[in-house]
Structure 1
Amino acid sequence: MKSSFAFCAVLSLSACAGAADWTYDDLPGGYEIHRNCSNSITLCKPTQDAKATTAVLIGSYVDMVAVHEQHIAAQRVNPAERADAGKSSDVLEKSYFLLDTDSEELVGPLDEFTFWVTCKQLNITDFSSWINTTDLENN
């Protein structure tokens, strides 16, 4: 009886695992945003490699993204800091990345100032609005 209960409990827990996971694939160059758990949202590129289905380019926690033609900008925060309920998102330490989807060149992590200087040097002045990655779930 105990083993049946334990099996049912494990089955019910594993059935729920991943239920809130999602993939957003409407980015240039075939890139995707993956939510793998509440503290893991990453920027990935699907691969044909038999050992992996995606290559993670920017690890957790990708908080915001923006697009300009072939460029994807990403803002990343520390997932441990993000999980701390006492911290406002305004005080979280942020790092920035810029991906050219044509050349597959990834620049970062950068501080905010260096990120915007890099964008200006590349004549990227009009990103789409920054989108909170948690808002991509239903898109």
Structure 2
Amino acid sequence: MSSKTEEYLALAQRTANGLTRYWESWTDYLTTASRLYKYPFADQLMIYAQRPDATACADYDIWNNRMNRYVRRGSKGIALLDESSGYPRLHYVFDVSDTGVRRNSRDPERWEMNDDLFKPVSEMLTAEYGISHERLSQ
């Protein structure tokens, strides 16, 4: 295993240990994770550790090919640990702030809670978790 991979494994461990130490750390992590809800916990943790302000992350090929955006020269990727091959290795994603637009570029779709969604989300939370809409902000 390369020393760089070991370094990122240690970063993941330190970050995970620090999340539960203070409630502010946990809520900061949850804020980051809420923007990156399609990523698994381990990837959310690594993104939070390296770039807590990230809003929409994808790998280089997705930005270039699917979104028709380019990754700016000199942008530092966010290292994620991939253990699917049986041993840890790194792959990188970039935040939308690391990209530039071209003609016909697509912007990432970000889910946001708005007035139109308040009622269906509130009803789902009530049905699933027993949370009333009066307590939604809590």
Short-chain TM bin: under 0.3
Q: Which has the higher helix share?
A: 2
Give the TM-score normalised by structure 1: 0.21
Q: Which has the higher strand share?
A: 1
